[in-house]
Structure 1
Amino acid sequence: MFDLLVSPLVQVIALGVASIIIWHLQGRGRPNARLVVQIAFFLAMTAILAGNRISPFKFEPIQEVGGTLVAAKLLWWVHLAWSTIGFIRIYIVLDGRPIEARLLQDLFVAGVYLGVTLSILSFVFGIAIGTLVATSGVIAIILGLALQSTLNDVFSGVALTLGRPYGIGDWIILADGVEGRVVENTWRSTHILTPANNIVVLPNSVLAKVGLTNITRPDETHLQILTFRVRPTHPPSFIAEAMRRAMIGANHIVHDPAPGVALMGLDAIAVEIELQYRVSRPSDRNAARNELIDLVHRQCTAMDLSLAPPATATVVMENALAWPGTAETVKDLLRANWIFADLKLEELEKLDAAARPRQYRSGDRVLAGAETSLMIVRSGVVAAHRNGAEVTRLAPGAIFAQVEGIDGKAISFEALTEVEVYEIDGPTLVPLLEDYPAIQNHLSRHLAGLAGRAPAAGNGSVDGKHAFVRKVHGILGR
């Protein structure tokens, strides 16, 4: 019995079985500890075999050496495979490979298992693997012809994984116009989530052949273009500067690097303009385009510019160049704003008559030291600041006021360009708010939004509705 226990082959078998038991007891949540155990037991088994001059690379007939040596060699080769696979998996994790690198990992694992299987057949059981490889080659040719399309997708997936033109979470645009975010990458296909919230499944062989644009790298900011035509009633440089100022007021575009204005052409009917701007992410494209279209329209109205018909228009309007756009009045600006959209015409005319124009240069403080007053931007861009940080930008048509006490935090306003505003003072504003509680409630919510806080739910009580008016009364001494 003692001789059996000190037998090196029995010790190797015991170490191999103990390693398997401990490996399973550790669980899948400890991959590093599992690898350490595999390596430790494998080195111990190797040391015992080497110390007793037993080579796992030499075939010995089972009739001569018995089943103990076969079992020891078999366990040694299995542990060699597991240790190698553990190294591969740890390397891929530490190397920071993305999730789709699992495909590459599976290829390595398959190669290790195939090599170890062939080694066991040759060195343990003495099977001539040359004949086996030749036979399997014929079978592989037959399977390859039968699975040509599938294998094409598989190897294309391998090439895409090694080249890494995209990763999970990247937003890609294909040459045929399909675009979306990559959500899964399998052996045969890549799954793309489109803006329509549909999953498009594309074979890897198709992706390997088609051109694609990855707008997530180096980051998701990417260039967008808006093209339109303006009647040449002013010099092109004046129009370009007006459009540049309009873009300064946009909140859905990236301002660093600054957006650009390109004059693309000039004829007797129009100056063709191209606005070049960046958005932070693909989901901002529609919001940015909608905002810029609105800002361009407002800027054209404020600067007496008129949009021109398209170049393909077949109808030429009589005196097309003689009728520039008419600048919006205070009444027009108020009516276009949702806060005052329900005012009666006579009330709008009163506010129009009471409004006074004010001009500010770039960098000037707007409403600095003012009491209570309402401001309407006619042209230019104003930035709203809270605690020294910019919270939003106000373009032509925007409404703001200087009323401290909302959210307990004052907002300051600074002109980013030359600005022209209409000012409505407190004595004119307060009676209107008293007569229209809904308007003062909307205005209070709007100013709270400028302060960077969403309006609280249920802010419809009498005290909440009239808090803004009471604050105005306190400032006016009423």
Structure 2
Amino acid sequence: MPGLGHPDASMNGDPRIAPRRLAIALPALLAGAGLALTLLWPEWRARMALPPGSALDRLGEPAANVLFWAAAAWLTVRLVDGLVFLRLMPARTGQSTPRLLRELMAAGVWAFALSAIVLSLFEGVLTGLLAASSILVAVVGFALRNTLADIFAGLTLSLDRPYRLGDWIELDPNTAGRVVEVTWRTTRLLTIDRIGIVLPNALAASTVLRNYSTPEPYWRDRIDVSLDNGVPPAQAERILLAAAVAVPEVNALPRQPEVRVIDFSPRGIVYQLRFWVPDYESRWRLHDEVRRNILQQLHQAGIAVTGPRLDLFHAPMPARDIDRRRHLDTLIGRVPLFQPLDAAELAALAGTAGVRSFAAGEAVVRQGEPGASLFVVLEGLLHVSEATENGSSRRFGQLRPGEIFGELSLLTGEPRSATVTTSTASELLEITKETFSPILERRQELAQKLGEIVAQRAAQRAAFGVRLPDLPDLTLANQAQVLRRIRLFFGLRQP
């Protein structure tokens, strides 16, 4: 259909094509001929004495109607497009008419002409035709609902005009471009990297857009800079403003840059340099120039941009090994048995005690062996076992860090009452009678505590059926006997 798509029309409605669009002689001539044929056909048919039902008789009047309505539509499109859209509207608004609006006008005119032609050709079957066309329209409308939504959205955009050809718009931080075409269904963008983007009009009409070209072509951009807390704010402002003003395109704009403090972060004070750019297309180039100027200005001032910072203080690493004497007193003090000791006594005990290392599966003490020392478990895990009457071995306990064993041999001099074997590699602290005797002589009340512990552990062994050699009557009810044996072994005076 002539005039519907305007294939020769430019997007901007170039006035130079107006003379060609105003060439209305041919459509006017055809419209006049069609009207004359329509009005004069009955008289001409009578003069020519056409036989009723002949081919010329059946086709003459319909052909005249089709010619008239088609030529009239063509003429109307040319007149409205050339006079209204290409002349009157641009003269009044100062802007070119959107191509979509012109195409919708042409489509409406041609649709009206087509309806008139159908009415003239199918008068007798109009009711059935309307029913069939209604069903067809419903089916086509459902199938093309998205397309129709884009078309109506395009019409809305053409009337509201949130953006124009040549505007830079942003859909999201990753999608921005210059508007190069607006059609019935889509808006086409061209990014700064020369990548084309096709945006459906329905999406454009329902999305929040940023237009960087209106109301003014220039707009404000910003750069965040972190500087050390020791940099005075006045100095930071001078440096950042100088970096922006040093760019001629920024300095030429009517609005001047400014600096604001926006955050206090672990990196330092965060300043925001706000400056104006003439257009979106030059944004990243000006960003680069301003950033380079900032680096140069900071370098001249002896200041560096701060980054993620971690302050490190180098010092000798304190030893963690438990065989160091300065740690043993702390480890010994954690044992409930030795908690009554003061710091000096713990230090003295640590200075004479020895640390022994054992591999996994190694026997520390064996049942029946003589001994006169106590062990404190520092690291690892050990298990306690006893030989039974049938010659087998039976486990009846575990020893964890902080627990002690061998207290019976240390305090009474009796042989080991059980076998203690390491389940894992272990570190043990051994306290002998010679090491512990001076402390016990000064702190005789400690013997009472030791007696209670020995009696409790004896009761636990008895619960498992373990017999303590040489102490058949050692029970919780007989703690006095244990205390006497301790005093006797260490040569303490009896109360």
Superposition TM-score, scaled by structure 2 size: 0.48
Superposition TM-score, scaled by structure 1 size: 0.50
Larger radius of gyration: 2
